[in-house]
Amino acid sequence: MNSEQEQTNIEPRKEKSSFRVLFRDMKKRRRLYFIVLPIAFVMAAIYAMGIPNTYKCTVKLAPEVSKGRTGGSLGGLASAFGISLGSGMSGDDAIIPSLYPELVNSVNFRTSLFSIKVHRKNGSKEMTYYDYLLHEQKSPWWSKAKKAVFTFLFGDKSDKRTNGANEVDNFQLTKEQTFIQRVIGRLIFCDVDKKTFVITISVIDQDPLIAATIADSVQQKLQRFITDYRTSKAKVDVEYYQTLFAEAKENYEKALHDYAYFSDHNQKVQLQSVRSQQTKLETELGLQQQAYSQVAAQLIAAEAKLQEERPAFTILQPATVPVQKSAPSRAKICLLWMFLAFLGTTAYIIYKEGHVKMLLGLDDDED
């Protein structure tokens, strides 16, 4: 029992002794801190100043969520982007918003942004988003240095086969186009709240106006893409009934013309054959009129269904030009570098003084 108490009393004494030794070593070599920390601060400042400012624009919208629809439109949307939902999937449109991030991350969606016209906040030069990302983006000095070295060693291997945004084949993109669409994937983010189904679209860019422009464009394209897929089946039905309506109208007008023409030219004729032909034309007119009325009613119903299938979106937070940068935080970068330099210097001092084992509790000797 006494030995346990003694062991318990020894441990706090060893801890205090270890800290005294550490503090003594740090004080002994304090000049090293005066050398390392300023150097770390200067290097951190150079690194932080080399990172371009970026701005973030966020758009929030809530889609219409309706119960009772299944299958068709959801399956069409999923299959269009290579997503298999399986035959056992059931439910309603509440699941559709979970596919929106996949849609925004698809190659087809990213390449559709290539041709958007943009210009800087402090400039009037208009260009495509593709050309802006390819030629106008600022990069850290070390990236430029690395690119210059690789170009010098291996030559310029950029792909010149296409005219950028004007010639896009999603089946076979060029290296340059593949690079740009991957860059877009790192700048545009889409997230859906699983509980409220609120869609959050975030765009990061070095220019605040371009960030807001692309965020607004992504929002509009997303709404248009979803609307097109949700209403694709209803649009086919409307087009089908429009064709039937045009044919029925043409047949009705022809039957009406034939009946009117025959009646006008045989008003005073009392022959049974003439009356029989008139009855036949009158019956044909009635059938064509009935068919015309039925198809017209079906067309109206199909158009109403199309309007019903068209989703509604509520814009909770529209795109606005950000006034403050979102990154980088140069003060945090400098503090982090100095903290790491302090830790590294302290570890070096402990190693040089030979007190590593003691501080780790592996040595029972004390100075």
Rounded to an integer, what distance in angstroms lies between the CA atom of residue 119 and that of residue 73? 37
pLDDT at 247: 92
Q: Two tokens at 133?
A: 């990302």
The answer to whether 67 and 315 have CB atoms below 8 angstroms apart is: no
pLDDT at 74: 47
The answer to whether 81 and 177 have CB atoms below 8 angstroms apart is: no
Is 0.75 topped by the overall pTM? no
Low-confidence ranges of the chain (pLDDT < 50): 1-2, 5-10, 68-76, 78-95, 152, 364-367
Pairs from 9-14 (Cβ < 8 Å, separation ≥ 24): 14/361, 14/366
pLDDT at 153: 52
**Helix pair angle (232-265, 208-230), 10° resolution:** 50
3-state secondary structure of 269: coil
Task: Name the DSSP letter for residue 327.
Answer: B
pLDDT at 81: 46
pLDDT at 188: 92
pLDDT at 47: 81
Span 32-46, pLDDT tens digits: 888 888 888 888 888
Alpha-carbon distances, residue 293 vs 244, 280, 289 (angstroms) = 11, 20, 6
| Residue matched to tokens 């950000």 | 322
Cα–chain center distance at 194: 16
pLDDT at 30: 81
